[in-house]
Amino acid sequence: MIIVMRSRSLRSSHPIRRILPLFLLAACATAAAVAADHEPPPAKDATSYPAVDVHAKEQVAIAAVPFDTPEQCKIFQVDYLKYDFLPIRIIVTNQGDRPISLNDARIYFVDAAGDRIQAAEPEDVERRLTPPNGRNTGIPVGPVHLHLKKKDSDNKIEGDFDHFEYAAIAVEPHTTRAGFLFYDMKGLGDNPLHGASLVLRELRNADGQELFFFQIPFDRYLAASKR
């Protein structure tokens, strides 16, 4: 199953509300509060960013802003760049008079070779941060295994995804919505943005009709950044 538009409301076609013990809820609230200490700059109209695709007829503009420097990534609790994950901020502006839906959206990072990369899940990042021999390990004591507590970084990752991830399944008329998706850049070289693009498919208008796909070249971002 290919679902690249990941948010709490889009994890499955039939979301299940989880009932957690109070101490888990408190832990999640703490992680979210930590993430909220730093925020990205307020999102402007998508047309004001260099890496943007504007559909004038459909009255929709979508921009992509890679957070590819340590300074930009200070808003997160985890150093994603260190582990080859690239946060990309997606800004969607609906310039029309009717809402658009991203409920079925597919958002891919397409590298210079044309290979599509899906947005990462928190578990993907956790696997990268935690060595195989340190994940879910236990200390054998007779017939009973004492399992080690998960590292604190797991909560930080979940907190970042909960707080920053793109979550708007609808964009109202004359409204801009923004959020992040995280992509695995491992093995793509020193400049994975060169020749790459972000591709969005299966966005729909208020009548359920699919919009023409969006393709946002990152070379425009690199040229504006002079990199």
Query: What is the secondary structure of the chain as a DSSP string?
Result: ----S--TTTSSSS-------HHHHHHHHHHHHHHTTS-PPPP--GGGSSSEEEETTTTEEEEEEE--STTGGGGSSS-TGGGTEEEEEEEEEE-SSS-EE-TT-EEEEE-TT--EEPBPPHHHHHHHHS-GGGSS-EEEETTEEEEPPPPHHHHHHHHHHHHHB---SEE-TTEEEEEEEEEE-TTS-S-TTTT-EEEEE--B-TTSPBPPPEEEEHHHHHHHHT-
Is residue 3, in this structure, part of any structural domain at all? Answer: no
Domain count, the chain: 1
Between CA 225 and CA 64 the distance in angstroms is 13
Q: Is residue 11 part of a domain?
A: no
Residue 183 lies in a domain: yes
What is the amino acid identity at position 145? H
Task: Say how far apart CA 160 and CA 183 lie, in whole Å.
Answer: 14
Terminal CA-CA length for the chain:
36
Tens place of pLDDT per residue across the chain (227 aa): 333 444 443 333 323 233 333 333 444 444 444 444 588 899 999 999 999 999 999 999 999 999 999 999 999 999 999 999 999 999 999 999 999 999 989 999 999 999 999 999 999 999 998 866 655 545 554 455 444 445 556 789 999 999 999 988 999 999 999 999 999 999 998 899 999 999 999 999 988 998 999 999 999 999 998 76
In a domain, 42, yes or no: yes
Residue 59 has a pLDDT of: 95
Q: How far apart are CA 7 and CA 164, in angstroms?
A: 10
Residue 170 is assigned to a structural domain of this protein: yes
Is residue 16 included in any domain, yes or no?
no
* Cα(203)–Cα(100) distance, integer angstroms: 7
Q: Nearest CA to 47 among 31, 33, 59?
A: 59
Domain that holds residue 168: 22-225
In a domain, 196, yes or no: yes
Is the Cβ–Cβ distance between 81 and 90 less than 8 Å? no
Q: Which of 99, 82, 67 is nearest to 164 (CA)?
A: 67
Q: Write out the two tokens for 185.
A: 């850049």
pTM for this entry: 0.77
